[in-house]
Every structure is written in C-alpha cells, then in structure tokens.
Structure 1
C-alpha cells in the first residue's frame, strides 16, 4: 500500500504548508542533508582519457563517476518524460501528480500512476532507507524539498546518474552503459536509452540477460511514452522497438592490469590515475602477447612487451604477462623483473668504444680464443671467425670482440652508463666485471627499453615515464649522437626473421645463459619496442633463442605500433669511411697495452683462425693470408705443404679429419700459426 503512504505524506505536506508558510520553510530548511558524494570506482585512464581499467568500490559494486562525462541528451529527455514530466517545474514534490495518483488509486483500488518525482527518487537513493511507511515517505518528501532548495536541477540529475541501480553490482548510468553496451553514455541509441530508463525501477526483474521479456515490455513502455511526449519520432520509435536487447553483461576494460596496480600503489597524481599509454595499442599488444605465448606451447611461459616514444620517454604500451593464469605466474609484472639481458647490452659497448676512439664500424678486430686473466669468453656457437670488422662482429653478436672492447672501456664505466640511461641495473654481487658484457647483470624490460630509447634518441636519455604529469628525467649524454647512430645503422642491416617484413628495423636479440631469458629490442626514428619471453621462476626454456622466439614477436609488435618504419638520419659528424680510408690507428683494434704484439705488417692467418673447428666433409681447406710479404711457405704439422705461394688465398688438400697445426712463413721470415680441428 505504498501509494496510500504517498497520499498521506502529500496530505501532511500540504497541511504543513497551509498551516504556516514560515514554519513550513523552517521545517524544510532545517533538513539535514545526507552526504551527497558517493564512492566511485577508481579508474586508470589512457593518454586520451579512455578507460584502461576500473576497480570496484569497497562493497564490490561497479560505480563509475560521471562528473566529467557527458550524457546523451536523449536519455535525459526520455528519463524526464517517463519518470517526472514536470521535473523542471516542481519544487521536489509534484502535488498535481500526487493528487491524481491518490484519486486514481482510491477510485480503482490499485496504483494506476506514480507520484514519486525524480527528486524524491534521488532522496530515496541517498538515504537508502525504507519508504513503505508514512515516516519514510515524509522523510523522503522533506529531503526532496530540501534538495531542490540546495541544488540545481542538473545537480539533482547528476546524483541520479551516479546512484541509480541497473542490476547486479552495477550502479550509476556510466557503469550501466559500460556493462550493458560496452560504451560511454555520451551517445546512445533510442533503444539503449529506453532500456536504461526502465531498468532502475526494477533492476533485478528487468535484467535483459535474465528476464528478456520483462526488459522488452519495460523498454516498450518508455518508448511509447517518449513517442507521446515528442522525444522520439515515429521512425525512431519503430527502430528502437526492433533493436535487440543485450544478451549478456560486458566486462569493464581491464587493460594494462600490472601497470594499473602499480599506479594505484603509487597514488593518484594531479590528474588522477592518468597514464601515457595508448588504449588501442595496449589492447592490440595484449592480444599479440596471449597468442604468441600460446603458440610456444609451454604452459609456464610468460612474456613482457614495452613500447615507448624515445623522443619523449613516454611508455605507450606495457604488457606484464600474457594473462593472469596462475600456471604462468601471470600476476607477476615481468616488465619490472630483473633478468639477464644476454647480448642486448652489446650495442652500448660498441657505441662507447666508438666514442673512445678504440674502434670504428670498419675497424678490423680479432675473433679468436683469448683470456682475460682467468676469464676466457667463448662465442655462443663455439666457433671463431678470425679477423672481422667491428660492424660484422656486432651483426653476428660475437662475444670475444665485445669482451675485448669492454676490457678497454672498463666494466665500471659500462655499469655507470647503464645507470645514466635509466636501466636500473642490478649486479649479482661484487664489483662489475667483464661478464656484464654478455649478460652477467640484471635489467628489466622497462630498463632495457630505456637503454635503447637512449641510443635511438641520439645517445641522450635517462629513463621512461608512465604518467603524463610526471617530471621528465633530466636527459644525460650517455654516448655521442655519432656513436649512437653508427650502432643503430649496423643493427638496421641485421636480416629480419624468416617471413618478417624487410623494413630495416634496427634491432638486437639476446639469449641469457641456460636459455632462461630470450629478448628482442628494436627501434626506428620514433618508437622503441622490447620483447622478453621466459619463465618467471627463472627455470630454463630448452632450445629457446632470442632470434628464433622473441624476434618474430618484435616485428609483429612493430607492425601494430606503426605502419611505416622511420629510419634514423645520420648526424653531421658521422664518420662514413671504408676500412682503407680510416686513420691507421683505427684500421685494426689493438688493446692499449698491446706492446708485445706482432709487428705491424707481419704475416697473419685470416682463416682458419687459431682454435677453430672446421667442417670439411671431404672438401679442401680454404686458406686466407693477411699481411706479410709473398712468397709464402705453408706447413702442416711442421711439414712443408706449399712453397713459393704468391696469392693470399689457396685451397689445401689434407688427409682426413683430426687436429692440425698450420703455419705460414713469409719472405721476411715472419710467421703465423693456428691450431685447428678438422671434421
């Protein structure tokens, strides 16, 4: 009999008003208003204000704030036409509608029309108390009158938008449009607007996913009244009636969950939880990450992808895992996990060597067995190439040349440069040693992205940011623009993975010791992308190599970042010379303390290098001689094999596999020797 209580309440209010205007005004003005603000879901937004992720409020409800969001005017017009057509004319209580409702109810013995105004509904939502008694209706009526005196009509509607129930744990118009239609309330179809007007009257009984017929009937009533009020044209009403109802609730966006959690822990900035991310790009890369990990067929494999604008240092996408599956430890944000970078630090080492005048891309450097005290590095494949250019050593990711350069640059200086670039490096213990050149250090995917952003940005950097209002790191000159460009130019000539687009992307791959981490990092004239794959617990992934596993994903990621790779133009000071045109000290790399090395011009074996394993398979052995004065004498295990050789290249017919000591003596008596294994 709620209609009866409504009638009594309206009668009591009319009586109070008639009894004395001043007393009535004091009664309304003395009303204690409940809190008008309500807890809304924490939202994490992308750079353009689009929703990345939201969190439920304390009671587990979705309640998205609508203060700064726009509402489709058609929804507001339909709401007023259906619920309270005199909303803009009454003072909180519509005595005309109330009197009519009471008279009709008494005449028919049942409720024919309602008397509750939108303001009264807001009052009920604010107090969330019982209204099925005279005291409850009086309190609601008094509060409605007080609200009209304290707030504008627009502010009252805003309270309704924030608190109206829409089924399940969804409250408020914006959460409803997200839940039922996957969109913001700024632009709604007539059918969508009509359903949202009808739902709050009986949110559970009219849920379209559970009670579609009840929802359809309720929506039809709103459409009919909207047509009668002139809010909807006959054509729009017909289209609205034909539109299907939503069959299921849609989940709210949950993009960049790891970064969103991190930002919540940091606390809101001046603009709230606003990121530098691009929601569309983030969604594309999360889809790629899930598919890429699934293609690998390993249940425990995880992935991290970071994309940044290297000119601004802003992170545009951050994928911390392929999903939240417990089996993959998907809750661990791998973008901030310190892992061994494998060979991915080599470009920085070469750039520092260029700046120190130790080498040039066309400088020749030895790739042969060598010891640095007790440390004897080896190439990943166990092979040696002899003398190669520095550019080729970087392209092939050879270990021995880069360790030789690190020995000259200094591990401590390299560690400092990594910190200046914003990588946040972690040493397993003790002072930096030569092993950091090959991955004996911990860096994060975010940190490695910062390093390559530094190289891509002309050698100047200092870290990345994920908030647009964060103070930018002070740029530090890590390497010169010329050295950074030379490294990038070399990396852009590395062949792409099979079936990948030949876009001349500057990229480097890496594989850590024991196949625990696989990497691929690349950059062009604007973006830098890092891909990491491995297991969060650090156990090996047998047979996984960065070039085979991570590089194809890198190229796919870049295709989702940009449609065109922008090359890096060379700076004015770049030294673009052939080997022969280099100054003599740069033609061949020599350690600073190389006092007792071979005299300049002494004969040398370019191939096979000392310590090499050579696959012959019945073919003759290729011999290449560098420097020295012909004619040459070639000995095999001390026995003359070729005498009076003038060309610097020859083929040697040798008997079967085994170990061989090969010696070459030139016309001036200088000699070179290599011990090789023939297979």
Structure 2
C-alpha cells in the first residue's frame, strides 16, 4: 500500500468510523450459582449473547475457518484472490459458486446489514480493513460469533447452542458444529425446525467436508450423519423476574450479573408458596425474602407469588414496596432504649390507657396489663409501653438510628414532623429494609448493606446497637419452633389489618414474610396466627441446618411462642410430659392470710411440661419465661381467678379458684 493510499484510508477512517452498536447491544444474563436464571432481549429484541473464542468448542473454530476463511490469520481483512475467484465463477456460471467474503468482511456486514449490491461489497471491504486496523483477529472472531444469525431473533453461537441444543458452546458434537456452520450461511432457508430436510442435507454435506479434511474420522462421520436435528426451540430462562429486572436496571452496563441466590432453595420455597398461597385471602399477595446474614447475601427473593398475574398486581416488587410495618419496629425502639440506659429488660413499665398529646394508642387486644417488665412488654408486643418508651427516647433520635442503618422510611405527608405513631407502623418501610434491620440484630448489633452480587465485596460494617443490647433483644424474641429450631421472631399487623408481617432470624438466616392485598384492603386479624406464622415455620423447615456458634450469650430465658397479642399460631406439641399444677388445685377455695396491710404471697407450683414457663392470672402475664417450678403471687383482693400455666411447647394447665380471707369465712359462718 502506497503512502498516499494509506493516508487516504486514515482520512476515510476518521470521517466514516466503525459502528459497533449492534455488537455492544447484547442480551443481559442474570446468574445464580453460575446457572443462567434470566436472559433478556437486546434493545433491538434479539436474543444475542456475547460469545468469545474461549467460550466455544475448538473444533467449531477449526471448521468455521476451514470452511469460511482458511487464510483469516494471514490476510489484512480482504482476500484479493478469493474475490477474483468469486467474480470469475459468477461470470462463468451465472450464479455464486463460492463466496469471496472473508470473516472480517462478513463481520462488517453483521455490524451494518446492507442490501446485497455491488456497492455494498465495496463498503464491506473498507469496513473489513477498518476492523483489522482497530481490532485483533481474536476480537474480530468474538464480534462475528456474537452477531452470527441462526434463525429468527437468535444471534450468536452461544444463543444458538442454548436454543437448539440446550447447552453451552464449549462442548459440541460434530453434528452440532456442522449444523451451526451450515445454518449461518442461510438461517431462514436452512432453519432446522421449519425446513428439517434442507437443514439435514446441509449439515451432512458439511460433515462430509469435515471428513474429507480429516477433521473427523469415518466412524464419527457415520454416527453423526444419523444424528437427529433439534425439533423445537428451548425456551430461555425467565426466573426470578423481579430481581432480574431490578439488577438489570441497577447495572445497565453489565451483560453478566452473578447473584447470591441459592437456586435450589429458591425453587423449594417458590413451590412451597404456590401450594400454601391457596389458603390465603383472594387477591392477596405474598413476598418472602431470606438473607444469609453473616455476609448479608440474599439467598431467596420472591417478590410476589406470580409476576405475570395482573389481577394480583404480581408485577409489583413487594420486597421493595413501602407498606406500614405494624409493630415490627418495636424491637429497635427497645434496643435503643437498652443501649441508652433508658430502660432495661427487667425494668417495670406501666401499661395503662393514656394520651400522648393528641395520640391515644391502644393495645392490639384492647386490654391493659398493668405493671409489666420491659422484656414482657416486647415479648407480648404491647403498644402503650413502646409508645411511652419512644416518647422518652425521642422520635428524631430513633429516626437517626434508622438513618445510620441506611434506612430511609416513607413518612406520612399529612404530618409536619414525625410522630409517636411510627412506633406502631405510622410510616412506610419495605420488606428489604426490615430484613436489613433485623440482620443487624442477628449480627450482634452490626449493620451492613445487603449485597446482591456474588462478586461484590461486602461493605464495612458499623455498630447500630451495642452487642449487649442486640443480644438482649434477641433473647427476648427467641422462640422454639418445630424440629427444635430456635428463632428470634416478631410479627406485625398494620392498622386496619392491611399488612401482615413475620420476621425472624437465627444464627444463619433472616427470614422476612409480608402478606397483604395490593390495594390496601383489610384482611382477617387472625391471618398472622392462622396462616403467615405457619408459613414461616414451613419455610424454616426447608432451610438447611448448619452447625453455627450460638447467639445465646445471656442467661435470660427463651421466650415461649405464645397465643397472646403476638397473635401467633399454636404449635404442634412435642412433649415428654404434660404440665400439671400442684398448687393451686382446680375448683378449690384458697384462704388468704394478711400480713400487715397486704395479703401473704400464694405459691404457684407446677410439675412436668417443658421449661421455661409462663404464668397468667386471668389472662394477664405474671411471669414470662421462668425456669422455676415454683413462683409466688401476691393478690390484691379476694375473689374468683383463673390461673393458667403455659410451657415452652405451648401446653397449658389451668386452675379456677376462689380467694377468700378469714374475715369472709367468719362472716359466712
């Protein structure tokens, strides 16, 4: 090439730069455990998967180059001898006998499709020279193998092998390679599903060429000429669509996104939900979000029960949707109170009807419980004590805690400033945000952003609570589930029963479940007890158990899974013995003795059952989580009472008694 020609090429190259838009517009693939779970179309609606030399079978490359461009690695982009031969054959025979296009020229045509005219051939030659100037031979092959057409909207070798053979391009049989190399020459006319006879003949012709060139032996030739053609296209995966779309939007420049999802666990819980959701209210929806909290990596992401169900607004991602969290923030108000020294688990709080300015909270069960310990108030999910505690801590201080955790709640527009109502769900939070908060409790008070990418390095954690405060909350919330699994558990129901939440964690996982009707219609107040908590237990049963260091570092007793205002379901009893009250005895009169200005304490004694125990007087808690078989009760007055004991398995023993003083007996006589 003369200096003048070279300078002319450089000038033309700068005026008419290469257009690689089609090569850059490829399908995004979402992976879970190196398995494709969702493949998107390109912007021009092609299934075009980026393919490199390293990702294809070496024999495919040999056949491709031998058939299409044996001098690929030696020419500058065009092969003058091949072009002259093609022109001569066209003139002599009146039609194309052999093509003169190199791989580089074909690649140029794939980048910029044009009508097959003579002028187009000159443009392709120029573009081929540009490709050779800007890219290495290997890079040109990568572009070719990404854009090569294989019928319909399938482009690229990898897309073709997934569509027709349901496998990667790394290990292909001779018959599969022959079909691919033949198909790219005329993807419509030789389509193996639409025109199997033509495809069969073209494939076997190429197999004969391979045998002639000694690229396969005679035995392989005989075997693979009899191989079946693909009879249908394999569907590309469209799993976990909510997460897939979310990550594609979040990482628009990434064509391969590797998630932390445990695919086996995801499918098990999807199946579980599909079976269980039939029992839920019509038009309701459910989201389940599970995070392995040691590295804060999500392993299950079910954002609705059916992405494609428009009636249930299944396309909405309910893991990210803002809803009222009900009472699920109570552990964090108590945790902050423990941390600040405002209250301790054994501190006494007053549960009585009272106003906080214009705010008048009431308990879920509409009852009041008098003087209760802080740990009891949290375990029973009482409303009035937690509002009082938030009032003492300060609303803005609590919101600052959420901000430290990276949580930005949705505050009501109708209020000039946040109010105490946030303690009972008077703000908007997402399931993802709540699971992130609870993971901080599971991590001894240390918060860390949730990371969805398997390759992403976890951010540095920082303390949200002290380890002591986090462990105190964990202990209070701890319950015994079926199969001897121990979880710290909290339920929540929003105002009007529009949302139901169950969030729990153990040494490895944080599980969050939300159920509600998308338009905010009310549901049954018993939904949590009857359906959502049982669903939580079924999810726990699916989780793999691993030997982990125990979270239990304090001597505080494990709380019993109750049927009280936490509205949690009854458990299947796994009992060695049934608890029996030794004293008081059912249907008896117990004599009260005075000591100074008050009555003497009455012993409460039990045998059997599983510790720890909970004692109730007329349905109100007296002792929660006690390991003693004997406690004492100091009644304030005589009368009729029901004494109830609940053991750790939820088994109960009751005694209906009458308390009578000496004066009463004397008067009666």
Short-chain TM bin: 0.7 to 0.9
Worse-superposed segment, 377-386 or 70-79: 377-386
Deviation, 1:315, is 4.1
RMSD: 4.6
Provide the rounded CA distance (Å) in 1 between the counterparts of 2:75 and 2:160: 28
5+ unaligned residues in a row in structure 1: which ranges? 1-19, 580-598, 614-623, 638-648, 654-662, 668-679
Alignment of 1:24-43 (within 5 A): 32=13, 35=18, 37-38=20-21, 39-41=24-26, 43=28
Provide the rounded CA distance (Å) in 2 between the counterparts of 1:232 and 1:359: 81
2:432 counterpart of 1:446: yes
Alignment of 1:176-215 (within 5 A): 176-215=160-199
- In structure 2, the partner of 1:339 is 323
Deviation, 1:460, is 1.9
Q: Is the 8 A contact 2:131 2:140 kept in 1?
A: yes
Alignment of 1:99-498 (within 5 A): 111-133=96-118, 135-141=119-125, 143-144=127-128, 147-148=131-132, 151-237=135-221, 240-241=224-225, 243-263=227-247, 265-266=249-250, 268=252, 274=257, 276-278=259-261, 280=263, 284=267, 287-288=270-271, 291=274, 294-296=277-279, 300-322=283-305, 323-356=307-340, 363=346, 370-372=353-355, 377-382=361-366, 394-399=378-383, 402-403=386-387, 405-406=389-390, 408-428=392-412, 429-461=415-447, 463-466=449-452, 475-496=461-482
Decide which of 625, 634, 640 is 1:627's aligned counterpart: 634
- In structure 1, the partner of 2:578 is none
- In structure 2, the partner of 1:652 is 657
Provide the rounded CA distance (Å) in 2 between the counterparts of 1:344 and 1:275: 32
Provide the rounded CA distance (Å) in 1 between the counterparts of 2:558 and 2:69: 84
Q: 1:381 to 1:173 in 2, by over 3 A?
A: same
Q: Is the 8 A contact 1:421 1:461 kept in 2?
A: yes
Provide the rounded CA distance (Å) in 1 between the counterparts of 2:597 and 2:551: 37
- In structure 1, the partner of 2:491 is 509
Provide the rounded CA distance (Å) in 1 between the counterparts of 2:133 and 2:411: 66
2:520 counterpart of 1:538: yes
Q: Deviations over 1:139-170 (max 9, x none)?
A: 44555466556654323322211221122222
Secondary structure of the residue aligned to 2:205 is helix
Provide the rounded CA distance (Å) in 2 between the counterparts of 1:610 and 1:266: 55
2:51 counterpart of 1:66: yes
Secondary structure of the residue aligned to 1:550 is helix
Provide the rounded CA distance (Å) in 2 between the counterparts of 1:520 and 1:310: 17
Secondary structure of the residue aligned to 1:326 is coil
Deviation, 1:650, is 7.3
Q: 1:159 to 1:635 in 2, by over 3 A?
A: closer
Provide the rounded CA distance (Å) in 2 between the counterparts of 1:559 and 1:228: 61
Q: 1:339 to 1:281 in 2, by over 3 A?
A: farther
Q: Deviations over 1:50-98 (max 9, x none)?
A: 6554543443223333359722222212222333344445554556666
Alignment of 1:72-91 (within 5 A): 72-91=57-76
Provide the rounded CA distance (Å) in 1 between the counterparts of 2:174 and 2:601: 85
Q: 1:232 to 1:324 in 2, by over 3 A?
A: same
- In structure 2, the partner of 1:523 is 505
Provide the rounded CA distance (Å) in 2 between the counterparts of 1:538 and 1:609: 37
Deviation, 1:297, is 5.8
Q: 1:652 to 1:341 in 2, by over 3 A?
A: same
Q: Size of the alignment, in residue pairs?
A: 587
Secondary structure of the residue aligned to 1:505 is strand
Provide the rounded CA distance (Å) in 1 between the counterparts of 2:267 and 2:45: 29
Deviation, 1:277, is 3.5
- In structure 2, the partner of 1:675 is none
Larger Rg: 1
Provide the rounded CA distance (Å) in 2 between the counterparts of 1:600 and 1:404: 32
Provide the rounded CA distance (Å) in 1 between the counterparts of 2:222 and 2:380: 68
Deviation, 1:327, is 1.5
Secondary structure of the residue aligned to 2:230 is coil
Q: Is the 8 A contact 2:383 2:424 kept in 1?
A: yes
Q: Is the 8 A contact 1:81 1:226 kept in 2?
A: no
Provide the rounded CA distance (Å) in 2 between the counterparts of 1:601 and 1:430: 50
Secondary structure of the residue aligned to 1:207 is coil
Q: Is the 8 A contact 2:260 2:454 kept in 1?
A: no
Q: Is the 8 A contact 1:525 1:565 kept in 2?
A: no
Provide the rounded CA distance (Å) in 1 between the counterparts of 2:175 and 2:541: 39
Q: Is the 8 A contact 2:56 2:171 kept in 1?
A: yes
Provide the rounded CA distance (Å) in 1 between the counterparts of 2:616 and 2:148: 81
Q: Is the 8 A contact 1:284 1:560 kept in 2?
A: no
5+ unaligned residues in a row in structure 2: which ranges? 560-595, 605-614, 622-630, 642-653, 664-669
Q: Deviations over 1:402-440 (max 9, x none)?
A: 455545555544433333333322333355544433323
Provide the rounded CA distance (Å) in 2 between the counterparts of 1:438 and 1:333: 24
Provide the rounded CA distance (Å) in 1 between the counterparts of 2:456 and 2:662: 66
Q: 1:399 to 1:190 in 2, by over 3 A?
A: farther
Provide the rounded CA distance (Å) in 2 between the counterparts of 1:372 and 1:130: 80
Provide the rounded CA distance (Å) in 2 between the counterparts of 1:207 and 1:282: 38
TM-score w.r.t. structure 1 length? Answer: 0.71
Deviation, 1:451, is 0.8
Provide the rounded CA distance (Å) in 1 between the counterparts of 2:262 and 2:2: 57
Q: 1:89 to 1:556 in 2, by over 3 A?
A: farther
Secondary structure of the residue aligned to 1:334 is coil
Secondary structure of the residue aligned to 2:503 is strand
